[in-house]
Structure 1
Amino acid sequence: MFKKSFILIFISFLFTACSFKMPEFLSFSSIDYLELQKEADICRDLDTEKEKLECYKKIESTNSFAQIRLGTYYSTKKEYKESLKYLNMAKQSDNLYANLPLALLYYTGEGVRKDINKSFELLKEASDIDPIAAFQLSRFYLQGINTRIDYDRGIKLLLFAGTSGVLQAQDLLSNIYKEGLYGAPKDQVKYEFWLKKAKDNKEDKNSKIYIF
């Protein structure tokens, strides 16, 4: 239940009337993020919440993915002071995957003063790395949230997210090319391509990086 509700919150928080590439490697820093993620995944794979929490706490000072997951954990508990502490720790460690959950808090105003511009800037900063952030940022450009409408930019972000396996982006792209939305012409070939991508997407792995 925790995993499902968490994913729902973090993937769909910007959905409006229409209707966030977990890359194979993390290359935005010289730090070995693959090893850090692997270490944090050991905690995630434990059986109980208590065991996971104890495990993450042991590595919280050195592992930015543990910090992100502790931040999201406390956010779901509505313990926003603790959530912000850990997410900001990860941000200060230059882990751009911290931007998405921070952007959610600033967008909704939970635990912080609501700041749409801050949310926008956080997503923008991470959008070349985090495909879910790219997907969420696309909504700003497609709907003119906190910025001028830019269909080209929005669709480019969707394409990055969809190519990287974000299911919601694939669904939206198929609908865009089916209906001719956001300035894009109807395109049966592209519609069928993205429809198949979405149907074949048995497991969107992008959110696993955030799952406690």
Structure 2
Amino acid sequence: MTQEIIDKATELWQDDNEKKAIELLEAIDLDNNAKANTLIGQMYIGAKRGNSNIKKDVKKGIQFLQKGLALGDAEAGMELADLYSLGEGVKENYKKAEKYWIASWELGEERAGFELANYYYDEFNEKISVAINIYEQLIARNEFVGNCNSKLSKIYEKGIGGITPDPDKSLMYLEEGAKDSHIHCCMNLGLKYYRGDGVKKDIVKAIELVEKVKDNELFKQDVEVLLNKMIKEEKI
């Protein structure tokens, strides 16, 4: 019965009838239902003037999300982390975002782990060893595989965060990312084979690697330029 109410409330929310959805959810025992609290929190935070029939209330939404998280809902933690990392309706605060990423990751939310590891990679290198551990766990779970391999390759190539540079390990992650057709892994590994950088020079293999990602819409122009130079055997 409880799940039916949650499903119905979700439908009402999608139809911009948050008021009725919240009334339904409030009939549930909110002290013991994580998902109901999370949904109410999402509704108050996401309410849009002209569409929603409730007033946006970020403060109230945060209270419900915090309760949902305390009751064990990983999605609530991810929502809170997004709020503070993006500064949507609240002052941007990465320390708070970090706290919620950690909580959500510990509850099993893979995206929270990925965002946390990226935060350590980009902004807080003192915890790069934690980022490495998370990236490796995500690869083992078959989540964000290409991106994780790309980041790990760069960590060991550049010695980010005081990690001892390890060209062999960097190359290993780059190759694994290329198997997953990750755009940067394919292009960077292709360049290594083209130049003979840490591997035996092989222009044919270099071209094959870059051709794997020629249909990537975001980097299509960059790939075309690189491919043309490789085919013409120009200096890169």
Question: CA 1:74/1:38 → structure 2, altered by over 3 Å: closer, same or farther?
Answer: same
Residue pair 2:85, 2:92 contacting (<8 A) in 1 also: yes
- CA-to-partner distance for each residue in 1:71-96, whole Å, 9 max, x for gaps? 22332335312321321221343434
Residue pair 1:106, 1:113 contacting (<8 A) in 2 also: yes
Q: Take 1:79 and 1:194, find their aligned partners in 2: how far apart are those partners?
A: 42
Partner of 1:57: helix, strand, or coil?
helix
Q: Cα distance, 1:185 vs. partner?
A: 0.9
Question: Which of 32, 35, 52 is equivalent to 1:65?
Answer: 35
Letter matched to residue 130 of structure 1: E
Unaligned runs of 5+ in 2: 48-55, 157-168, 183-236
Residue pair 1:176, 1:182 contacting (<8 A) in 2 also: yes
| 2:119 counterpart of 1:119 | no
Bigger relative CO (Cα 8 Å, ≥ 6 apart): 1
Letter matched to residue 150 of structure 2: N
Question: Which of 93, 101, 104 is equivalent to 2:82?
Answer: 104
Q: Cα distance, 1:121 vs. partner?
A: 1.6
Q: TM-score, normalised by structure 1?
A: 0.57
What is residue 156 of structure 1 aligned with on the other side? 133
Residue pair 1:174, 1:193 contacting (<8 A) in 2 also: no
Q: Cα distance, 1:159 vs. partner?
A: 3.8
Residue pair 1:67, 1:86 contacting (<8 A) in 2 also: yes
Question: CA 1:154/1:70 → structure 2, altered by over 3 Å: closer, same or farther?
Answer: same
Question: Which of 37, 49, 65 is equivalent to 2:16?
Answer: 49
Q: Which stretches of structure 1, 4 residues or longer, exceed 6 Å deviation after superposition?
A: 35-38
What is residue 45 of structure 2 aligned with on the other side? 75
- Report the structure number with the largest CA radius of gyration: 2
Question: Which of 123, 141, 150 is equivalent to 1:175?
Answer: 150
Residue pair 1:40, 1:56 contacting (<8 A) in 2 also: no
Unaligned runs of 5+ in 1: 1-34, 197-212
Q: TM-score, normalised by structure 2?
A: 0.52
Question: Which of 97, 119, 122 is equivalent to 1:140?
Answer: 119
Residue pair 2:146, 2:177 contacting (<8 A) in 1 also: no
Residue pair 1:106, 1:118 contacting (<8 A) in 2 also: yes
**Count of residues in correspondence between the two structures:** 155
Q: Cα distance, 1:131 vs. partner?
A: 0.9
Q: Take 1:39 and 1:131, find their aligned partners in 2: how far apart are those partners?
A: 27
Show the 5 A alignment for 1:176-195: 176=151, 180-183=153-156, 185-187=170-172, 189-195=175-181
